[in-house]
Structure 1
Amino acid sequence: MLNVLIVDDEFHAQENTEIFIQKYFSGLLKVIGKCSDVKDALVAIHNQEPDLVLLDIQMPNQSGLDLLDIVEPRNFDVIFLTAHEEHVLQAIKKDAFDYLLKPLDAQEFQKTIFRYLSKQSSEKKKTKKSEVLNISAFSTIYGLEFIKHDEISYCEAQKNYTIIYKTNGEYITLTKTLGAIEELLPNEQFVRVHQSYLVNMKEIQRFIRSESKIVMRSGKEISVSIRRKTLLFNFE
Structure 2
Amino acid sequence: MSLQKTYRCMVIDDENHAIEVLSDYIADTPRLQLVKTFQDPVAALMDEEEQYDFVFLDIDMPRLSGLDLARSLRDKTRFLVFTTAHQKYALDAFDVQADHFLLKPISMKKFALTVDLLLKNIERNAASAPPAEQTFFIKSDQKHKLIKVNLQELICVEGLKNYVLLHTLGQRHIAYLTMKEVEDALYTFGGFMRVHKSYIVAKSHIERVESRSIWLRNNLEVPIGDTYRPGFQEYLSDKILVTGR
| Range of TM-score over shorter length | 0.5 to 0.7
Report the counterpart of residue 153 of structure 1 in structure 2: 138
CA distance, structure 1, for counterparts of residue 162 and residue 106 of structure 2: 35
Contact 1:65 1:91 in 2 (8 A): yes
CA distance, structure 1, for counterparts of residue 90 and residue 177 of structure 2: 38
> Any idea what SS the aligned residue of 2:21 has?
helix
Contact 1:53 1:79 in 2 (8 A): yes
Indicate yes or no: 2:233 matched with 1:228. Answer: no
Aligned residue identity for 2:106 = L
Indicate yes or no: 2:96 matched with 1:94. Answer: yes
Return the structure number with greater helix share.
1
CA distance, structure 2, for counterparts of residue 114 and residue 77 of structure 1: 12
2:75 to 73, 76, 99: 73
What CA RMSD, in Å, does the superposition of the two structures yield over aligned residues? 4.0
CA distance, structure 1, for counterparts of residue 145 and residue 49 of structure 2: 31
Contact 1:8 1:37 in 2 (8 A): yes
Report the counterpart of residue 55 of structure 1 in structure 2: 57
CA distance, structure 2, for counterparts of residue 119 and residue 195 of structure 1: 33
Instruction: State the 1:63 CA deviation.
Output: 1.3
CA distance, structure 2, for counterparts of residue 187 and residue 93 of structure 1: 40
Indicate yes or no: 2:14 matched with 1:14. Answer: no
Instruction: Please list every run of 5 or more consecutive structure 2 residues that lacks an aligned counterpart in the other structure.
Output: 1-5, 181-195, 203-214, 219-245
Report the counterpart of residue 110 of structure 1 in structure 2: 112
Map 1:27-42; keep pairs closer than 5 Å. 27-42=30-45
> Any idea what SS the aligned residue of 2:131 has?
helix
Aligned residue identity for 2:131 = S
> Any idea what SS the aligned residue of 2:91 has?
helix
Query: Percent identity over the alignment?
Result: 25
**Using a 3 Å threshold, how does the CA distance of structure 1 residues 197 and 103 change in structure 2: closer, same or farther?**
farther
Contact 1:6 1:55 in 2 (8 A): yes
**CA offsets per residue over residues 132-164 of structure 1, 9 Å max, x none?**
xx1xxxxxxxxxxxxxx535326xxxxxxxxxx
**CA offsets per residue over residues 96-115 of structure 1, 9 Å max, x none?**
11010011133322211110
Contact 2:14 2:41 in 1 (8 A): no
Larger Rg: 2
> Any idea what SS the aligned residue of 2:106 has?
coil
Report the counterpart of residue 85 of structure 1 in structure 2: 87
CA distance, structure 2, for counterparts of residue 32 and residue 102 of structure 1: 22
